[in-house]
Chains A and B, each alone.
Chain A
Amino acid sequence: MAKKERQIVATTAWSAGPGCHGGCGVLAHIEDGRLVKVEGDPNHPWNQGRICARCLAMTKYVYHPDRITRPLKRVGERGEGKWQEISWEEAFAYVEEKLVKIRDEYGPESVIFSMGTGRDIGAWICMLAYAYGSPNVMFALSGLACYSPRIAAVTTVQGDYCILDASQWFPARYEDPRYTRPECIVIWGYNIPSTCPDNVFGHWITDLMKQGTKIICIDPRLTFFASRAEKWLQLRPGTDGALAMGFLNVILNEKLYDEKFVSDWTNAPHLVRTDTGKLLRAGDLPGDGNAADFVVWDAVAGKPAVWDTADVTYKAAGVRPALEGEYQVKLACGQTVQCTTVWDTFRRKVAEYPLDKVAEITLVPADDIRAAARLYATSKPAAIHWGEPIDMTPAITPTTQAIADLWAITGNLDVPGGNVISRYAFDAVAYALPGAKGAIKLKSAEMDKKRIGADKYGPLGKFIWRAHTDLVIDQIFTGEPYPVKGMWLQTTNPLSGIGMDPRKWQKALEKLDFVAVVDLFMTPTAQLADIILPAASFLEKESIRSWWIPLQTINKAIDVAECKSDVEINFELARRLDPEFKWNTVHELFDEILANSGMTFAELQEKGWAFPPEGHPSAPYRRFEKGLLRADGKPGFRTPSGKFELHSTLREEWGLEPVAHYEEPPFTPVSRPDLAAEYPLILCTGRRSAAFFISEHRNIPWLRALDPDPVVEIHPRKAQELGIGNGEWVWVENWLGKCKLKAKVTLEVPEWMVMAAHGWWFPEEKTAAPDLCGTFRSNINTLIPMNAVGQDGLGSPIKHMLCKVYKVRGDEA
């Protein structure tokens, strides 16, 4: 028998398929046009030949018998499970007709374009929504509680986001002489080896550990890192903000901060009016000062001096700003106000969190907090790497701010081995994360006016170009201020995955005139659609990955039946819906997105990946000193003051507390002892799995075998007290609902908490309603409300609800 010819296609894994946000370099082995194997690309600087279980299972994913391979049109009642295969031409015409009808009758904003975690969809869903005329692109999680809040919060105070530096900016990685290994990494709520890396390869951290990096692990749950950490802080879920304030307390009291960074690069010396608590502006002073400018107390001249935000320098020469003290300042109105510095107000706020108080809030012993804070602050460099729990609390922004303050005041911002500013490689923006503006945009600011929630929540108005999920779902029922009639859901399964209160989601979808779903499999959510369009996996498409480093292409290795890539589907519809749509081909679109890199799509594809050169604004380090961060080329940050803001100007403008602090989450034993009396256990959800990405992969046997059941982890003593044995089915219940999970009796969780797996549905069961693959039976989101978001609209109490757990009776099993 002749040996089959084997082709190897090098590409980037960036969904759909593995699910995650990684961006690993993979080699797809093809024989006769068929995928036979996937391997890590040993030459790829990101993962050096390694890849995880989900990518390795792609052969079973792409050819799965349940894949939807032709467009499906609903023929029975919605949810009834009666579908007719149609051609792509019919499908496009049908969607176009339905969308145009809604646009003509109600306006384009009446259709919501909804996605799950974005990956290679975010850009294309925006392109379609904007071509149609709707500003309502939505990330379907309550309070947008995943990643974009963290990005927005960090951007609010430092103008850019940043991440752990594991040398990913250099092709030679750890060997590059510009790199310094962190002496210590704080892993803050992240079980990253079995997860969905947010542009960090989880195992870079084990690489660094082998080279000597110490770990501080902040997690209520015993994880790989918790076991191997120098310090493990087992905090009560949702109290991360208090813990961060405790760290700051130690660092300030023991003077472990970087004084030079604080005085030169933060707004610590800016004056705050004690009467209003707001920053003093040059416009408040006699003369014709600018309201955009800030004021310091010049210790040399003994009078106020103006910090010119346009020039990012003091108006007068030789100003020596005082870092502390109380000053009387005469205002234009003749009144004299008492002012203090941002540094003093910040210190006062931090002083509200002495360690005994923090220990009481977090349940972490004070000595452990002190020791960890010292280790972090005295390690040079040190980095903090955080996970989803940071977003999954209503007080996400002040928590994030406290943590960002930590890396800033310890001098670990944008330095080798610290927390490094991460930008789109070469400033090529495809995926529109908070703050980003690229080739894909709304035609006018006018069109954005109707975006749901943008006028209500500051970050949505300023950074996050998304509709507010909780408000959207409510608006479907109320029709106020305008009706919502249609939803386009692209590779998202809110009924099983990211929809909090999934029954409400079901009712909302049932109420709509038109529901379109783009996906690869028949999910419970897809079952409620009017039309389903079959999407391609990453192996079947061309695309770009630009967040953050390196800049990469996704290259097509195979075709599977009639599946089309997300970009192709959206491109065709956008072209039909917008007579002014400006691109003729998908490659033209890619070329425009890549314009800043100086490469065309074809040229980048040839290289596979590219790193921005030193001195480029998207390559580190110390860009704030070199004038690489701001549009005007001046040193400083892209914030209203040009400084890292310990007192946030934007939060002040939004009417929110401008300095980092802690807020107790809404449903905890502390905030709701009344509820805790009946539901005494802290319910933590969203435990990551090495086998699954959120609600995906339950249908891939290799992966399902690794993690077969929806589990809830219970401490052995608690299980014994409740009469629950390992592997028994239990009800997890609270005042919102209950779900059935399998008990895993394990020391991984503390006695006072249970950890429930999320994203469960049973693809092997009946799909049609009301069964919907059993998605409501074991859905932990049934116990989590919507509309419990933070004051700035972000975050949601996903990691710290309350519940009780009891055995499922024999007759209920």
Chain B
Amino acid sequence: MARKNTGYGLLIDYEYCTGCHACEIACAQEYDWPAGMGGMRVTEMIQQLPNDKAYLAYLPFPTELCILCAGRTAKGMKPACVQTCMSACMKHGRVEDLAKEINKPRMALFVPK
């Protein structure tokens, strides 16, 4: 049977993700993940562009371990990664609401669970 999502997701404006990795450690702290594991992984991507140009992007990627902070959000709190994000570039919410907020390039909507 196909997995059903909960209707919640994470909207990430990765234009403003600076690759600070705070979200990763916030998740590790919340769930005491051992080093190297966790609900969030931030990847660095360097895109080669024409004319010897390049663009550096970071993408915070919710992994298989992300449970969307079900416990926290049930209490009305933000997910740990969202609360701590240094650039305030992540948002948690209902997928249909978040989808409406995609109004600029370099945004991604994740539905991790």
What is A's interface to B at a CB cutoff of 8 Å?
A: 37-40, 42, 48-53, 56-57, 59, 193-194, 202-203, 206-207, 209-210, 222-224, 226-228, 690-691, 701-706, 746-748
Q: Which residues of the partner chain B approach A705 to less than 8 Å between Cβ atoms?
A: 35-36
Taking CB atoms and an 8 Å cut-off, the chain B residues in 7-35 that contact chain A are 15-16, 18-22, 24-26, 28-30, 34-35
Q: Any chain A CB within 8 A of the CB of B54? A: yes
Q: How far is the CA of A701 from the CA of B35 in the complex (A)?
A: 5
- The residues of B that contact A748 with a CB separation of less than 8 Å are 46, 54, 56
| Contact, CB under 8 Å: B18 / A224 | yes
Q: Which residues of B contact A222 (CB under 8 A)?
A: 46, 54, 56
Q: Report which B residues bind A (CB closer than 8 A).
A: 15-16, 18-22, 24-26, 28-30, 34-36, 46, 48, 54-58, 83-89
Residues of B within 8 A of A704 (CB): 35
Contact present for B46 and A50 (CB under 8 Å): no
Contacting pair A50 B88 (CB below 8 A): yes
* Chain B positions within 8 Å of A59 at CB level: 29
- Asked whether, in the complex, the Cβ of B35 is within 8 Å of the Cβ of A702, the reply is yes
Assuming the contacts A38-B29, A209-B16, asked whether A701 and B22 have C-beta atoms less than 8 A apart, the reply is: no
> Which of B25, B30, B55, B83 contacts A53, CB < 8 Å?
B25
25 A-B residue pairs with CB within 8 Å = A37-B29, A38-B29, A42-B83, A48-B88, A49-B84, A50-B22, A51-B86, A52-B86, A53-B25, A56-B22, A56-B26, A56-B28, A193-B19, A193-B87, A203-B18, A206-B18, A222-B56, A226-B56, A228-B15, A701-B36, A702-B28, A702-B35, A704-B35, A747-B46, A747-B54
Contacts of B48 in A (CB 8 A): 747
Q: A39-B84, A206-B89 are in contact. List 12 more A-B contacts (CB 8 A).
A: A42-B83, A50-B22, A50-B86, A57-B29, A59-B29, A194-B20, A203-B86, A206-B18, A206-B87, A706-B21, A747-B46, A748-B46
Contacting residues, chain A, for B26 (C-beta < 8 A)? 56
What is the bound-complex CA distance between A373 and B87, given in angstroms? 28
CB nearest neighbor in A for B35: A701
- Pairwise interchain contact A193-B85, C-beta atoms closer than 8 A: no
Chain B positions within 8 Å of A49 at CB level: 83-84
- Partner of B16 from A51, A206, A701 at Cβ < 8 Å: A206
* Closest A residue, CB atoms, query B83: A49
- In the bound assembly, the distance between CA atoms of A223 and B20 in angstroms comes to 12
A224 interface neighbour in B19, B22, B85, Cβ under 8 Å? B19
- Would you give the shortest CB distance from A284 to chain B, in whole angstroms? 55
Q: Is the CB of B46 within 8 A of A51?
A: no
- Asked whether B86 lies within 8 Å of A193 as measured between CB atoms, the reply is yes
B26 — nearest CB in chain A belongs to which residue? A56
Q: B44 to chain A: closest CB distance in Å?
A: 9
Residue of A42, A59, A193, A704 with highest tally of chain B CB at under 10 A: A193
Contacts of A50 on B, CB cut-off 8 Å?
Answer: 22, 84-86, 88
CB < 8 Å: which of B16, B21, B55 contacts A210? Answer: B16
Q: A49-B83, A222-B46 are in contact. Are A690 and B19 (CB under 8 A)?
A: yes
Which residues of chain A are near B20, meaning CB under 8 Å? Answer: 52-53, 193-194, 202-203, 690
**Looking across the interface, which residue of chain A has its beta carbon closest to that of B58?**
A224
How far is it, in angstroms, between the C-alpha of A705 and the C-alpha of B46 when the chains are bound?
20
- The CA of A747 and the CA of B25, in the complex, are separated in Å by 27
- Which residue in chain B gives the minimum CB-CB distance to A700? B35
Of all chain B residues, the one with the shortest Cβ separation from A201 is B86
Chain A residue nearest in CB terms to B56: A227
Among residues of A, the one whose C-beta sits closest to the C-beta of B57 is A227
CB of B61 to closest CB in A, whole Å: 14
Pick from A37, A51, A224 the residue with the most CB of B within 10 Å.
Answer: A224
User: A227 touching B55 by the CB < 8 A rule?
Assistant: yes
Question: Which one of A209, A228, A691, A701 lies within 8 Å of B34 (CB-CB)?
Answer: A701
B18 touches A56 (CB 8 A): no
Bound-complex Cα distance A42 to B80 (A): 13
| Most chain B beta carbons < 10 A, residue from A37, A39, A203 | A203
Give the chain B neighbours of A223 by CB distance below 8 A: 56
Is the pair A691, B46 in contact by a Cβ cutoff of 8 Å? Answer: no
Closest Cβ neighbor of A224 among chain B residues = B18
Separation of A159 and B18 alpha carbons in the complex (Å): 35
A residues less than 8 Å from B19 (CB atoms): 193-194, 224, 690
Task: Write the chain B residue with the least CB distance to A57.
Answer: B25
Residues of B within 8 A of A42 (CB): 83
Query: In the assembled complex, which residues on chain A have CB atoms less than 8 Å from the CB atom of B28?
Result: 56, 702
- A38–B34 Cα gap in the complex (Å)? 17
- A746–B30 Cα distance when bound, in Å, is 33
Which of A207, A228, A691, A701 makes the CB contact (< 8 A) with B21?
A691
Contact of A193 with B18 in the complex, beta carbons under 8 Å: yes
Find A203's partner among B25, B58, B87 (CB 8 Å cutoff).
B87
Which residues of B have CB within 8 Å of A194? 18-20
B85's nearest neighbour on chain A, judged by CB, is A50
Contact of B88 among A39, A207, A706 (CB under 8 A): A207
B residues less than 8 Å from A57 (CB atoms): 25, 29
Q: Is the CB of A52 within 8 A of B22?
A: yes
Residue of B nearest to A37 (CB): B29
